[in-house]
Structure 1
């Protein structure tokens, strides 16, 4: 594949954003001097992020992002926390694929699920998955709040999408996501 300026721009942007998240992890100060005020439930929060599918495994092949093409998703979601421990989330993710000098929206994912607070900044999301590509499945996600601010926080997450259907073998993908919740 020819190195094209647009593909290089996307790869460099992904590397830069990943570096920013790593710096935030090491600079975060999770301890707080005073207890936060009590939170009223239900609590509604939104978020935006970037997701990079890193490697996908199926019985037919193993494919990696950044090798001949680049795929990036832009998740946007709403979390509704019923209590400090349990909530509901609806996520919407358009995916862009760049290869051979062109880019296009390759897939759209509707991703509803349940949220479980695990403590110490960790949250588990168990999501159902419905894609315009004709694939469906589920996605377990481990999320970590890297830096908490008064009205927002930065997070990193490791989604592991499992997909079925559309005459393709079952696949499992390992991804990396980061973003801002508010």
Structure 2
């Protein structure tokens, strides 16, 4: 009798353990983000016309379950203006993730930039290609920034990348 009870408990524990290995699910990603246009009360700046700016969002997503998770992202920003390029800032960009279904997700991020700006960034993502080992995605980030003696600004951008 003890042996059967032990086997039953072992099977029950094993099935519980196996179901728990799915979540939390941890994924990493790397992307390239191009701001398209930035609008503030003082000016409207267009990337590729007025200057060239590019960012490299790199992060880790921790999915609590299939619907919600947490993301930790670091984003170095580079700008080339009149032939002089430099790293302009490093963005600390944590946030929540919400799966919207059919490959779409939403990231609600807060933004703390080393250039003294802060704000938030809603990001809409779509998985384009998914394989067993990687996924390719496109995203539309919509950064809103304040601070550092500059007027509030709103940017639209385009991001694509790989998640693994």
TM-score, scaled to structure 1: 0.78
Aligned twin of 2:26: 44
1:139 correspondence with 2:118? no
How far 1:67 moved relative to its partner? Answer: 1.5
Cα deviation for residue 178 of structure 1 reads: 0.2
The number of equivalent residue pairs is 145
Q: Paired residue for 2:81?
A: 99
Q: Which residue of structure 2 aligns with residue 78 of structure 1?
A: 60
2:136 to 154, 158, 161: 154
Tell me, in whole angstroms, the C-alpha distance in 2 between the residues paired with 1:54 and 1:124: 20
Distance 1:95 1:170 in 2: 19
| C-alpha deviation, 1:99, in angstroms | 2.0
Answer with 1 or 2: which has the greater Rg: 2
Q: Secondary structure at the match of 1:66?
A: coil
Distance, in Å, in 2 between the alignment partners of 1:60 and 1:99 is: 19
Give the distance between the partners of 1:64 and 1:120, measured in 2 at CA: 32
1:56 to 38, 41, 52: 38
Deviations 1:104-161 (A, max 9, x none): 1011100000000000000000000000110000000000000001111000000000
Residue matched to 1:121: 103
Q: Which runs of 4+ in 1 moved over 6 A?
A: none
Task: Give the alignment's Cα RMSD to 1 decimal.
Answer: 1.1
